[in-house]
Amino acid sequence: MILEIPDFLGRIDTRRLRRIAAEANFVNGRLTNPHNETKDNQQIDHTVPGYQESSQIVMSALTRHEAVREFAMPNRIAPPLLCKYDVGMAYGAHFDVALLPLPELQSLLRSDLSATLFLNDPDSYDGGELVLQLESRKVPIKLPAGGLVVYPSTMLHEVTEVTRGQRLVAITFIESKIIDERKRHMIYTLGEVSALEGMSMKPENRMLLDLVRHNLIRMWS
Query: Is there a contact between 170 and 85 (Cβ–Cβ < 8 Å)?
Result: no
- The strand pairing partners of 42, in sequence order, are 28, 84
**Alpha-carbon torsion (179, 182, 188, 191), positive or negative:** negative
Nearest to 130 by CA among 154, 113, 150: 150
- Count of helix runs (H) and strand runs (E) in the chain: 5, 15
pTM: 0.92
Tens place of pLDDT per residue across the chain (221 aa): 899 999 999 999 999 999 999 999 999 988 777 777 789 999 999 999 899 999 999 999 999 999 999 999 999 999 999 999 999 999 999 989 899 988 776 789 999 999 999 999 999 999 999 999 988 899 999 999 999 999 999 999 999 999 999 999 999 999 999 999 999 999 999 988 888 876 778 888 888 888 988 899 999 98
Count of Cβ atoms closer than 10 Å to residue 97 Cβ: 13
Residue 105: the pLDDT is 66
Q: What gap in Å lies between CA 66 and CA 80, rounded to an integer?
A: 18
Cα 35 to chain centroid distance, Å, stands at: 22
| CA 41 vs CA 49, 74, 185: distances in Å | 21, 27, 32
Q: What gap in Å lies between CA 179 and CA 73, rounded to an integer?
A: 10
Q: What gap in Å lies between CA 46 and CA 37, rounded to an integer?
A: 22
Residue 183: the pLDDT is 95
Residue 194: the pLDDT is 84
Q: What gap in Å lies between CA 7 and CA 10, rounded to an integer?
A: 7
